[in-house]
């Protein structure tokens, strides 16, 4: 049996006062236009925590140190759009320097803090499931796989 590759996404969970930071993807985005999502990116030739640090700087203009990240949820996901397997890693950001601002207005139309009990719609499907899991203390979810 040959190995099967998964696309790996790295997501940042910034929290304050019971709220989570989400970005509204731009109307022109290739993936999930006009849909709320966590700050995130795809793993390149780097560790997962290095990716999270890089994405925090690129997308939000904040400095995060690897020791201030905690893996809080994993989603093994197969989407309906392209059927590719994806492993989504969600890291809680314990501390950071700076104020999150939208550094990629071509990809993100808005940034807002949302209460876990009142998340916006539409929200990327696996993001909604992962945030619900985090709030409930669960660390793993599978989506889109045959039963």
Question: Per residue in 84-132, pLDDT tens?
Answer: 899 999 999 999 999 999 999 999 999 999 999 999 999 999 999 999 9
Give the domain ranges of the chain.
7-143
The per-residue pLDDT for range 8-32, each reduced to its tens digit, is 999 999 999 999 999 999 999 888 9
Architecture of domain 7-143: Alpha-Beta Complex (3.90)
**Band of pLDDT at residue 73, cut at 50, 70 and 90:** very high
143 three-state secondary structure: strand
Query: What global pTM score does this model have?
Result: 0.94
Per-residue burial over 48-59, b if 16 or more Cβ lie within 10 Å, else e, is bbebbbebbeeb
pLDDT at 54: 98
């Amino acid at each position: 049996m040959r190995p099967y590759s998964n696309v790996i996404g790295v997501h940042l969970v910034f929290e304050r006062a019971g709220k989570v930071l989400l970005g509204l993807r731009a109307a022109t985005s290739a993936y999930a236009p006009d849909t709320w999502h966590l700050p995130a990116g795809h793993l390149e030739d780097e560790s997962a925590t290095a990716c999270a640090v890089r994405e925090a700087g690129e997308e939000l203009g904040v400095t995060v140190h690897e020791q201030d990240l905690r893996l809080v949820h994993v989603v093994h996901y197969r989407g309906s759009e392209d059927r590719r397997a994806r492993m989504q890693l969600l890291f809680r950001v314990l501390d950071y320097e700076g104020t999150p601002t939208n550094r990629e207005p071509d990809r993100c139309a808005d940034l807002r803090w949302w209460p876990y009990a009142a998340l916006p719609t539409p929200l990327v499907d696996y993001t909604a499931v992962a945030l619900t899991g985090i709030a409930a203390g669960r660390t793993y979810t599978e989506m889109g796989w045959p039963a």
